[in-house]
Structure 1
Amino acid sequence: MIRQATPADATAISHLIISAMGPLAAKFANSDDPAKQLELFQHFAKLTGNQYSYTNILTWDEQGETCGMIMAYDGAKLEVLRRPFLNYTRTKLGFTGTPEDETQHGEYYIDCLAVLPGHQGKGIAKKLFNALFERAEELGHATVGLLVDKGNHKAKKLYTDLGFVEQGEKQLLGGTHYHLQKNLY
């Protein structure tokens, strides 16, 4: 079942965000300690007005467990949504990086997508995408975008099978990613 996330989902959401982000989560937390990474993303998942907020997340639940999630927001709002997170990570955690803009105006940006390993291969990601496409259209967005690590061929294939088209490459905190977009109409 797909539903809008709530603040009570912060722990489950945070585990999924960290899974989706991989090494970037450690960079932002300025720590390889999984507990510190979890604490950081739990803090922001409970709040509004930031890119990792529950308000930007749809979840997939099965038998009372959050098994997957997709997070997206208006690319035109990246700076405003990113600011509280970066201020916190810099002042509280010593993060010194300057992330490049991963999205842009005119794009409903998928920041993270993750499905728990035991639930992968069941079509959950595709269902989350379809629900997100509906949400984007309802909000008046014609284009959905995302980044995929250049080495993640399996994910890139999933996205291209869903109609995403490569638009070029973007850098993000030392990594090179393909920038993909899908026109909704």
Structure 2
Amino acid sequence: MQIRKATPQDAFALAPILLLAMEDIVYYLIGQQDKARAIDFLTYCIAQKDNQYSYQHIWVAEANETILGQASLYNGADLANLRQPVLDYITKEYQHTPIVFDETSAGEVYLDTIAVAPQAQGMGIGQLLLRHIIDFFVHNQKATIGLLVDQENPKAKSLYLRTGFSKVSEKSIFGKRLDHLQIKPTAKDS
């Protein structure tokens, strides 16, 4: 298993995996429940630079040249600038203007999505990706990682808590109750 940064050429393989983590949100953003159009939307965004879903912010887990999982994260302070090209594209391509919420802010690297392809679930790939990004951002760059987890997804929350995250607040976005979790550098990371 190899973990590497994504490339624009990975967009086609990554889009369905990303959709696993954010299907309801993508349907809301594009204003329609059409899986093919949702995958097209993500494929486009992933292949572009400087946006919220860009390959620039994605780490992939790959085996035998097959992408099995992904983690997408970016600096929370950059949310508005990274989101704007996505919103512009949605308005142009889907004639839709969604109301959006700030899921992150300055002071954390935001883990937007983490997902594993269906055929690879249960193999520890999500945990491998999580440990990799914690090593990279928290231990090496001394950054705080934040994420939101649905309160109705105790399995995911349990994984994050076992990995060292702790709850810092609650949020309500897109009609869902979410726990805001963070993992911060410790004295031994200095």
TM-score, structure 2 as length reference: 0.92
Structure 1 stretch displaced more, 64-73 or 121-130: 121-130
Matched-pair contact (CA < 8 Å) for 1:5–1:54: yes
Matched-pair contact (CA < 8 Å) for 2:51–2:83: yes
In structure 2, the CA distance between the partners of 1:5 and 1:90, relative to structure 1 (3 Å rule), is same
In structure 2, the CA distance between the partners of 1:139 and 1:91, relative to structure 1 (3 Å rule), is farther
The unaligned stretches of length 5 or more in structure 1 are none
Partner of residue 178, structure 1: 179
SS in 1 for 2:87: helix
Partner of residue 30, structure 2: 29
Structure 1 stretch displaced more, 130-139 or 68-77: 130-139
Partner of residue 125, structure 1: 126
| Cα separation, 2, equivalents of 1:89 and 1:171 | 23
Partner of residue 60, structure 1: 61
Q: Describe the superposition over 1:135-155 as per-residue Cα deviations: whole angstroms up to 9, x where unpaired.
A: 324773431000011111110
Structure 1 stretch displaced more, 174-183 or 43-52: 174-183
In structure 2, the CA distance between the partners of 1:45 and 1:18, relative to structure 1 (3 Å rule), is same
In structure 2, the CA distance between the partners of 1:173 and 1:91, relative to structure 1 (3 Å rule), is farther
SS in 2 for 1:55: helix
Name segments (4+ residues, structure 1) moved above 6 Å. none
SS in 2 for 1:184: coil
Count how many residue pairs are aligned between Structure 1 and Structure 2. Answer: 185
TM-score, structure 1 as length reference: 0.94
The alpha carbon displacement at 1:108 in A equals: 0.6
In structure 2, the CA distance between the partners of 1:86 and 1:138, relative to structure 1 (3 Å rule), is farther
SS in 2 for 1:85: helix
The alpha carbon displacement at 1:19 in A equals: 0.5
| Cα separation, 2, equivalents of 1:97 and 1:46 | 22
In structure 2, the CA distance between the partners of 1:153 and 1:137, relative to structure 1 (3 Å rule), is closer
The alpha carbon displacement at 1:77 in A equals: 0.4
Matched-pair contact (CA < 8 Å) for 1:27–1:95: no
| Cα separation, 2, equivalents of 1:85 and 1:150 | 27
SS in 2 for 1:22: helix
The unaligned stretches of length 5 or more in structure 2 are none
Partner of residue 136, structure 2: 135
Partner of residue 85, structure 1: 86
Superposed, which structure 2 residues align to 1:159-178 within 5 Å?
Answer: 159-178=160-179
SS in 1 for 2:70: strand
Task: Give me the identity figure in percent.
Answer: 35
Structure 1 stretch displaced more, 147-156 or 135-144: 135-144
